[in-house]
Structure 1
Amino acid sequence: MLTGNLVRVKVTSKGRVMPLYLSRDNAQWLEVAESLLLIFREGVGTTRYEIETEVHELVGEGLATLAHRGLAKVLEDRAEFEVVADVPPETLREKLFSAAADYRRSLRAAGHRAPFKRDHVLEVVGRELGIEPEAVAAGLFADLKDENRMLKFDDLDAQRLVDRYNVALAQAILLRAVLVTAVVRNEKPARYRQLFRQLKFHRLLYRVEGSMTTGYTFQIDGPLSLFSATNRYGLQMALFLPTLLHCAEFRLDAELRWGPKRDPRSFHLESSDGLISHQADTGTYVPAEMGAFLDRIRQVASAWDVTESTEVIELGREGVWVPDYRFVHKATGLDVFLEVVGFWKRSSLDRLLRLLPQHGPKRYVLAISDRLKVDEESIEGLSGPVLRFKEIPNSNDLSALLDRFLKDSPELGF
């Protein structure tokens, strides 16, 4: 992600923020990209300071080099840096400073002004720790950021680096958003489902209008519309953009608060701008904290198949619902939808409680976190059962609810 001091834009007289993208086919920029890539490819094992020095020698400083330094920042984000030392640096410092103090006291006790010998102290500490004096000196401040060493680098080619820079520039602008409106048209149902799943995966606050036939308009709250957690939420907002870029026909408009005074500005992006997503088009994802729950429910409810839901359920004129999971009874084909409503979904829960009684599917379960403090009166209108939980839903309780649907379904003849 580009930091604010690396964002290259111009602001029009009408208040629109225009990113200064790089041409992915420009020979000059491809040459710059290749030169920077060479520094990082050959930099494995060197310190962050050494790499930054090489980059500085190549591109220099000043406004004219913002793009160069932005490209370098993209590469730095693809590198893994760690503290590399035979002994923890804090231990080395403690031993070295103690040994130096002892050495000075011995010199004073000897009654003559012998010079202080740094190498002598390094040798003493090295013998105590079983390492070479040179290793003591090298590891003394290895935990400083500049002294971290690059362990590996996720390589790419020059053109993909330019593509990644352009997306990072747009992402950095969205960090200043108050409201983002995205319109997506003429996509296949699978693409729409992917967008809904990613909005939920990144835990973004959104409202949606439209249909599979006409397309959808998403209104997403920006990070600057919130009172807290703006940094984390802003990052989630930026991480959603690469998914949107997979769409063949879209437009995005953002209301911004720009600059030190947070002046109102706007930002526009559409498919014809040619930004290319750096993320693989992998579809939907499962939040990590639900992994244990899925493994357990497959064990205790073996008569049911469980998959991440790709169903988009229309909720009247107030948008759609994409449940988290779909359970299908292997013997009868009966299906049940499950929505896990964690503490981060307060606004979506209110919407579901209001709309599911009228527009929801025949069979569904809402698993609601106790942290939301939902009272019984709020859920009494639901046609589906509620499963309350603290950390993750209880698999045995959910299995019992699923089996109850079998008994309560007259079409099965039970």
Structure 2
Amino acid sequence: MLTKDLIRCRIDRGRLKPQFVPVDDPEALALAGDLLEPYRLPDGPRRCDIDEMTDPICKGARDVILAKGLKKIIDDQAEFATGDDYDYPAARRRLFAQAAQLLRSSERLTEDEYRRRLALVAAAEPLLAEDRLYADLPENDRLRAFKDLTARQLLERYNCGLVQGLLVRASAMELGVDASDASKLRRLFKYLKFFRLLCRLYGDDAAKESPLTDDGATDSAAAGIFAKGALLRARIEGPASIVTESKRYGLQLACFFPAVCALARWQLRTEVEWKDRTRELVLDESSGLVNHYHNFTAYVPDEIKLFHRHFADTVNAWTIVTHTPFLAGPGNELIFPDLSFANSDGLLMHLELFHRWHSGPLRERLDYLRRQPALPLLLGVDRSLCRQDPTMEEELKTEPAFADRVFLFRDYPTVDKTLKCLEKAQARMH
């Protein structure tokens, strides 16, 4: 995504208007193609070699900020090999000390003889002998891997990066998303969960003909939401008071955003801190933004992959269900669990996780659990939330309504804690 100094946007009647580049513009395509070429050179060019070739292109472009922004997007696709474990600074000190000693010696050396003697010293340092005196400096890092793009794809990434750069400065997001394709919607909310975001889901007026109930029913009760033309309203909220967490949450919002662009219809509204003022950002599918998260499994965090693998290897009585349903929440709200589990008796249980910035939604969900003892929903709560609210841990441990439905974890749940909670819930329901 783009940093603040590379974001091109204007303010129109108090609203931010990102300056998207037309992806079929010949001049923009030519600029993108020129900037990509140095990254395609064989044998891993050095970073300084790439910069030497791209700097004149950026400085000579009609829009320098656009050119630098395109290069930033390309750099995000590049992986450079950093210096090895060789102690280059110590080797340089030894070489410079020998060079100084030769200069101070009483011998009258010609330039050629001086260089020959110094070469002998350098030969004792294998890496320096290969003309790698400063190989540990960042500008000498070599390109190790590059996720190549076409010029058009680069422009599409740039336009999406403009919005992501703005969303880093947001702490909440309101979405209207197309609900006519349940599979795409499920995919969207899996992305949301993977980026540890929590949202409130509501059906719009088109869905209210089949209102959701509070009886814990799953997809069958939510069928009215997925009617043709229906929109789901979602509000993704972050922490209101912890500044450092707000910044981190904004980054998560920005990383999640491309997944929204995969839907046929969507609307976004958020408020962004821009030039010392809060500005409104409003976008929809007419912006032409393109989702580049094509390989879904590539964006599954390692801890989730490890959890799935360890659960499958060690637990026999339960399996993780790949088709996670929506649960009916209070009023017209929907709940999308992080994980769903089934046992051999056909019992289906769901798990929703609450991370460090979810204190407000957690309180509401706990109240809902109290009112719905039959709801097949378990809650995993990050211990950092208990540090924010000193009464939380004691409440979760002592209140009977939570004894077999809520457990604490650090960063991500373990299989053991999840299994114990599943077994307690199974015992209660039988």
**Alignment correspondent of 2:348:** 335
2:406 is the counterpart of 1:386:
yes
CA distance in 2, matches of 1:221, 1:390: 21
CA distance in 2, matches of 1:224, 1:388: 23
Q: Structure 2 vs 1, CA of residues 208 and 16 (structure 1 numbering), >3 Å: closer, same or farther?
A: same
CA-based RMSD:
3.2
2:259 is the counterpart of 1:246:
no
2:393 is the counterpart of 1:375:
yes
2:91 is the counterpart of 1:95:
yes
User: Aligned-pair distance for 1:249?
Assistant: 1.0
- 400-409 vs 23-32, greater mean Cα deviation: 400-409
Among residues 278, 288, 307, which one is paired with 2:321 in the alignment?
Answer: 307
**Alignment correspondent of 1:208:** 201
User: Aligned-pair distance for 1:166?
Assistant: 0.9
**Alignment correspondent of 2:379:** 366
CA distance in 2, matches of 1:204, 1:389: 17
Aligned positions of 1:18-57 closer than 5 A:
18-42=17-41, 45-57=44-56
Q: Structure 2 vs 1, CA of residues 390 and 62 (structure 1 numbering), >3 Å: closer, same or farther?
A: closer
CA distance in 2, matches of 1:407, 1:359: 17
2:348 is the counterpart of 1:347:
no
Letter in structure 2 aligned against 1:21: F
CA distance in 2, matches of 1:174, 1:371: 25
Per-residue CA deviation, residues 101-130 of structure 1 (Å, 9 max, x unaligned), is: 244335535276876977346523432233
Query: Contact conserved, 1:253 with 1:266, CA < 8 A, in 2?
Result: yes
Query: Contact conserved, 1:251 with 1:271, CA < 8 A, in 2?
Result: yes
Among residues 76, 100, 104, which one is paired with 1:104 in the alignment?
Answer: 100
User: Aligned-pair distance for 1:222?
Assistant: 6.4
Among residues 344, 347, 356, which one is paired with 2:369 in the alignment?
Answer: 356
User: Aligned-pair distance for 1:366?
Assistant: 2.9
CA distance in 1, matches of 2:237, 2:366: 21
**Alignment correspondent of 1:288:** 302
User: Aligned-pair distance for 1:167?
Assistant: 0.7
User: Aligned-pair distance for 1:347?
Assistant: 3.4
Per-residue CA deviation, residues 229-263 of structure 1 (Å, 9 max, x unaligned), is: 4443322111111111011111112212212xx12
CA distance in 1, matches of 2:332, 2:244: 27
Unaligned runs of 5+ in 1: none
User: Aligned-pair distance for 1:286?
Assistant: 4.8
Letter in structure 2 aligned against 1:105: Q
CA distance in 2, matches of 1:143, 1:32: 31
Aligned positions of 1:125-164 closer than 5 A:
125-131=121-127, 133=129, 135=130, 137=131, 139-164=132-157
**Alignment correspondent of 2:70:** 71
**Alignment correspondent of 1:235:** 251
**Alignment correspondent of 1:2:** 2
Q: Structure 2 vs 1, CA of residues 207 and 98 (structure 1 numbering), >3 Å: closer, same or farther?
A: same
**Alignment correspondent of 2:211:** none
Per-residue CA deviation, residues 77-97 of structure 1 (Å, 9 max, x unaligned), is: 111112356x73xx2332232
Give the TM-score taking structure 2 as reference length.
Answer: 0.81
Letter in structure 1 aligned against 2:26: A
Give the TM-score taking structure 1 as reference length.
Answer: 0.83
Letter in structure 2 aligned against 1:320: L
Unaligned runs of 5+ in 2: 208-224, 387-391
Q: Structure 2 vs 1, CA of residues 102 and 77 (structure 1 numbering), >3 Å: closer, same or farther?
A: same
Per-residue CA deviation, residues 171-201 of structure 1 (Å, 9 max, x unaligned), is: 1122232442211234322233233332222
Letter in structure 2 aligned against 1:130: P
Query: Contact conserved, 1:178 with 1:257, CA < 8 A, in 2?
Result: no
2:181 is the counterpart of 1:188:
yes
How many equivalent residue pairs? 400
CA distance in 1, matches of 2:19, 2:384: 45
